[in-house]
A and B are shown apart, each in its own frame.
Chain A
Amino acid sequence: MMEKIEGINIFRSAKKEGQSFQILEDISFSAQQGEIVCILGPSGCGKSTLLRIMGGFDLPDRGSVLRDGTEVTKPSSDAILIFQDFNQLLPWKTVIENVIYPLSINRIGNTKKEREAAAVRYLNMAGLNDSFHSYPHQLSGGMKQKAALARALVLTPSILLMDEPFGSLDALTRKNLQVLLEDIWRETGVTIVFVTHDVQEAIILGDKIIIMDKNPGRILNEVPNNLERPRDIGSPGFIELYDRIYSMLQRGSDQ
């Protein structure tokens, strides 16, 4: 299988109160075509920065990110970033206008009707069947994230970069969205890099779980996850894997 997205020896530092400190230290990883790779780590381990670098929003000090073998230097509509922040939709556009906007900017679809139909299709895929003409501030957090997901999918990107997208949702909504994302992934074959600090979420979604540590942000371990999908806490092997990953994270934070 071919490397869909790959990071090679990435270093990145930042300045805080005049002092330079290392956010990311020698990070290498890869995700294959159609894989879900979860990046798991505590707050402040640089996982969001790493995702921004993968998306071409920030550049590494050293090292590089390759997408389909080509170096990433700027954002592209082939790799869409989805944030944790509920306010990523444009508030002055209705839900459906938000999803149509990427299409009209890229001149996809010949008529307004065509674009609308495409938007509805992806909104349905993302689990939204009504509220198309509501404004984002009228939606619940879960609906906003579904709309953001639909907007990300409408350009049929080959990679989704997800920065704790379900992190601010209540447990039940989060579970629903995890199931939904897995369905979308199966239907579209999109490659997903999913950042989270939730061990359970990483096990439910990831084909591979990259475990990070903080100060400086570096990779502790890479754990393949072959549990049968769909997974939940009751799945055979789930608890064992959970304990293994949890103790890796513990050891990291004890050092």
Chain B
Amino acid sequence: MKIRKILWIVLLLAAWQGIAVSGRFSPLIFPSLGMISQSLVNSLLNGELVRETVFSIVLILEGLIIGMLLAAVMSIASITSKWLRDLIETVTALAHPLPGIALLPIIILWLGTGRSSVVFIIVHSVVWPLLLNITAGFKATPRIYRDTAQNFGVRGIDMFKDVYVPASLPFLISGLKIAWARSWRALISAEMIFGAVGGKGGLGWYIFKQRVFMDTAGMFSALFIIILIGIIVEEIVFEKFEAATIRKWGMAIYDGEN
């Protein structure tokens, strides 16, 4: 991260602390940074927050992996046959605008309130944006790459893996970023609703539960964990991956420098 960004974070935190210590609001509603970190350390040390975080991350990864596999299969199917492409485009057009949370009551009816329901909601929120981005990437593959590859005798699966996949990598990466963000939204909402019934809750359920105890600092410490994971994935995982691929190849739409 740039120095300016870090500076802004420090300033925002200072502003928060300023409001908290001003006494304008009750600490029950607006806890100070000290209370939040205290709660964070406690719940990390007694293992509760760690367990919930691991539970949530496992669900996210499961949903993401299943979603990616489905998107891969469907995107390959859609370039092999016009009939399949029309089918997949139709299903995508119908399913993509549906928020995962709107499906919850039906999913509860069909799959119950177990973890498979949460995974289903995550897969739903991940698979359509991924699919849309991958197929957009295939369509945007420059004709000159296909022409030259065809000229050298590249056909079928080789054309797919050697030309289409790398050429559409910038699209795939932005699809993954959207999918990652969407999967968290789906997860947290599903956990908040299911947690009351299911056994383990995850971060969504944790936040929900702390409200019942009026543990505002506890709610913020869980939010902090979510933000931290988001930053780590965005600034380290995606950053490293982009630097090793599309930025190295001069293919990035935005190269991160201004």
Which residue numbers of A lie inside 8 Å of B, CB to CB?
55, 57, 75-77, 80-81, 83, 85, 87-88, 90-92, 101-102, 105-106, 135-138, 155
Contact of B166 among A57, A92, A155 (CB under 8 A): A92
Shortest CB–CB separation between residue B132 and chain A, in angstroms?
23
Stretch at the interface among B102-110, B214-222, B243-251: B243-251
Q: Which residues of B contact A88 (CB under 8 A)?
A: 144-145, 148
B152 touches A155 (CB 8 A): yes
Q: Which residues of A contact B162 (CB under 8 A)?
A: 90, 101, 105
A91 touches B144 (CB 8 A): no
- 9 interchain residue pairs of minimum CB distance: A137-B250, A102-B152, A92-B166, A91-B249, A92-B249, A75-B151, A77-B153, A75-B150, A88-B144
Interface residues of B in 213-254 (CB under 8 A from A): 245, 248-251
B152 touches A101 (CB 8 A): yes
Q: Which residues of B contact A57 (CB under 8 A)?
A: 147, 150-151
A105 touches B153 (CB 8 A): yes
Shortest CB–CB separation between residue B48 and chain A, in angstroms?
45
Instruction: Give the contact-size bracket for chain B.
Output: 20 to 34
| A-contact bits for B74-85, CB 8 A (1 contact / 0 none) | 000000000000
Given A87-B142, A92-B245, A92-B251: A77 touches B152 (CB 8 Å cut-off): yes
Contact of B154 among A85, A91, A92, A105 (CB under 8 A): A105
Interface residues of B in 144-172 (CB under 8 A from A): 144-145, 147-154, 158, 162-163, 166-167, 169
B153 touches A106 (CB 8 A): yes
B250 touches A91 (CB 8 A): yes
Residue contacts A-B, CB under 8 angstroms, 16 given: A55-B151, A77-B152, A77-B153, A80-B151, A81-B147, A81-B151, A83-B144, A87-B144, A90-B145, A90-B148, A91-B250, A91-B251, A92-B251, A102-B153, A105-B154, A106-B152
Shortest CB–CB separation between residue A141 and chain B, in angstroms?
14
B148 touches A81 (CB 8 A): yes
Docked Cα-Cα span, A81 to B149, in Å, equals 11
Contact of A135 among B147, B153, B166, B248 (CB under 8 A): B248
B249 touches A135 (CB 8 A): yes
Q: Which residues of A contact B144 (CB under 8 A)?
A: 83, 85, 87-88
Docked Cα-Cα span, A102 to B145, in Å, equals 13
B250 touches A136 (CB 8 A): yes
Closest to A138 in B: B250
Docked Cα-Cα span, A137 to B255, in Å, equals 13
Docked Cα-Cα span, A102 to B151, in Å, equals 9
| A-contact bits for B43-77, CB 8 A (1 contact / 0 none) | 00000000000000000000000000000000000
Shortest CB–CB separation between residue A213 and chain B, in angstroms?
27
Closest to A91 in B: B249
Docked Cα-Cα span, A141 to B152, in Å, equals 22
Q: Which residues of B contact A101 (CB under 8 A)?
A: 152, 162
Shortest CB–CB separation between residue A193 and chain B, in angstroms?
14
Given A85-B144, A90-B166, A92-B166: A105 touches B249 (CB 8 Å cut-off): no
Q: Which residues of B contact A87 (CB under 8 A)?
A: 142, 144
Q: Which residues of A contact B153 (CB under 8 A)?
A: 76-77, 102, 105-106
Docked Cα-Cα span, A7 to B95, in Å, equals 52
Docked Cα-Cα span, A136 to B250, in Å, equals 8
B150 touches A135 (CB 8 A): no
Task: Taking A80-B151, A81-B147, A105-B158 as given, write out 14 further A-B residue pairs in contact, using a Cβ cutoff of 8 Å, ordered by the A residue number.
Answer: A57-B147, A57-B151, A75-B151, A77-B151, A83-B147, A85-B144, A88-B148, A90-B145, A90-B149, A91-B249, A92-B169, A92-B245, A106-B152, A137-B250
Docked Cα-Cα span, A102 to B152, in Å, equals 6
Docked Cα-Cα span, A19 to B137, in Å, equals 30
Docked Cα-Cα span, A90 to B250, in Å, equals 11
Q: Which residues of B contact A85 (CB under 8 A)?
A: 144
Q: Which residues of B contact A80 (CB under 8 A)?
A: 151-152
Q: Which residues of A contact B148 (CB under 8 A)?
A: 81, 83, 88, 90
Closest to B250 in A: A137
Shortest CB–CB separation between residue A25 and chain B, in angstroms?
25
Docked Cα-Cα span, A192 to B152, in Å, equals 17
Docked Cα-Cα span, A43 to B166, in Å, equals 33
Docked Cα-Cα span, A83 to B142, in Å, equals 13
